[in-house]
Amino acid sequence: MNLTIDDHDIDADVTELQPELVEQARVVLACMRGAELLPQGVANVDVMHGPSLSNSEPVAPRHLLPAPGSHQAPYLLLQQHLERHGVFAITLFTDVSFLAIPEVLLRCQEMYFELCPRERLRFYADENMRKHRPVGPKTFGMLESSLRNPQDKDGIVALELKDGEHALDAPKHLFKVYGRDRDRRGDPDQLANSLCMTFAPEDGLARVRDMAALVRRIAEIFPYRSGCAGFGYQVSRYSSEVGESFAWQKSMRHPQMDIVRSLQDRHAVANNAGKTVNWLTLVCDELLRELGSPKNVEQTLEAPIEWTHLGAGVLFQLGASPGFIDRTRGETAPDYHRLHRLLRPLIERAREQSPWFATGSSDDQAERTDDWFRRFDRA
């Protein structure tokens, strides 16, 4: 079989990666074509979100288009990037066993379904599945079943529901829970239990009030240690190395973009850290007390930042809507820098505990991981 692959087969953003990863993307594409896994009409593969139609380039939603005669072309390009590669992500971490709070988890799932109908979620996976499968009649009762009648000796509660045209696609809409009471040795598990929800990025703009209200409703009942909500990159488990390299480079350019790596994030946060800052950032009272008195907190922030006590801790809000800057254009995010400076001791713990980003070269993985957690140290 002869396959002809040229540079146009690789998404333009991917060509910014290291050469060996571009080559890896070409190999993946060739394998997919050789196995006839790509549907007719698909010409390129976006390593973050799967196949995209050759004659249907992503465009910004209508409400993001600039007014006639305006000079918003650079900003529109950023919005197109966000539309193509990003998600609006909500992630909360806790040290409480999910088996101890079944009603809370089920209520959080119902809150998600209020904004993302079940019909949109086409694939699922649990702890024992290597690949996603199409949803079936019993899928949406799996979480309740695992909470009410736990079968796993380690107290694992794990379910992922997602959208996508194909099972391998990185999703826009995702509901995922992962909790574990005991590690593989039978000892109490020290990693964070996580609740993650993602939506299409335009929801972070057009439905900003709904997104903020959802985070607040969840925070009122979920016993979080830390968490955040805002724009981010979702890395597919099926192309993690290429995806993480892409996301790392883009997040360093657009620092308000989180990188959602559910398994690695559990290690980073554990029960004593905060992963990053975003539009909405949650910190429990116990961790916040480590940073000093309320007066010390105000002095560290230097300028007012909106915050409110909510549930187990405090919710910080940076602006009326999620931020999205481009450092290559000289843009800055001073509020994010100030909040990062306040929470830096907690974020440094996450940096030390986090598995390295799989950026394609073992020589610089540790350095790049450090750079990402410290990206708001830069002006």
Residues 97 and 246 in one domain: yes
Query: Looking at the structure, do residues 170 and 27 belong to the same domain, yes or no?
Result: no
pTM exceeding the 0.75 threshold for the entire prediction: yes
Distance CA(92)–CA(284), nearest Å, equals 11
- b/e for 297-329, b at 16 or more Cβ within 10 A? beeebeeebebeebbbbbbbbbeeebbbbeeee
Same-domain pairing of 112 and 42: no
| H or E, element range at 79 | helix 73-85
Residue 154 domain boundaries: 84-377
pLDDT at residue 83, rounded to an integer? 57
**Angstrom distance (rounded) from CA 200 to CA 232:** 10
For the stretch 302-351, pLDDT in tens is 777 899 999 999 999 999 999 889 999 899 999 999 999 999 999 999 99
User: In this structure, what token pair is assigned to residue 190?
Assistant: 């020290």
In a domain, 36, yes or no: yes
96 — pLDDT class (breaks 50, 70, 90): very high
Same domain, 17 and 139: no
Q: Is the pLDDT of residue 34 over 60?
A: no
Half-sphere exposure of 106 (CA within 13 A, CB side): 14
Q: Are 358 and 366 in contact (CB under 8 A)?
A: no
Nearest partner of 121 among 133, 130, 129, judged by Cα? 133
Q: Are residues 47 and 109 in the same domain?
A: no
Task: Give how far Cα 347 sits from Cα of 153, 255, 268, Å.
Answer: 32, 15, 9
Alpha helices (runs of H) in 187-237, residue ranges in sequence order: 203-206, 208-221
- Are residue 8 and residue 113 in the same domain, yes or no? no
With both helix axes pointing from N to C terminus, report the angle between 262-269 and 334-353 in degrees, rounded to the nearest 10. 90
Could you tell me if residue 68 is inside a domain?
no
Q: Could you tell me if 45 and 89 lie in one domain? A: no
Pair 171, 313 in one domain: yes
Identify whether the C-beta of residue 95 lies closer than 8 Å to the C-beta of residue 264. no
Are 172 and 34 part of one and the same domain?
A: no
- Whether the per-residue pLDDT at 364 is higher than 90: the answer is no
Q: Write out pLDDT tens, residues 155-165.
A: 899 999 999 98
Task: Say what angle helices 19-34 and 240-253 make with each other, to 10 degrees.
Answer: 130
105 and 52 both lie in a single domain:
no
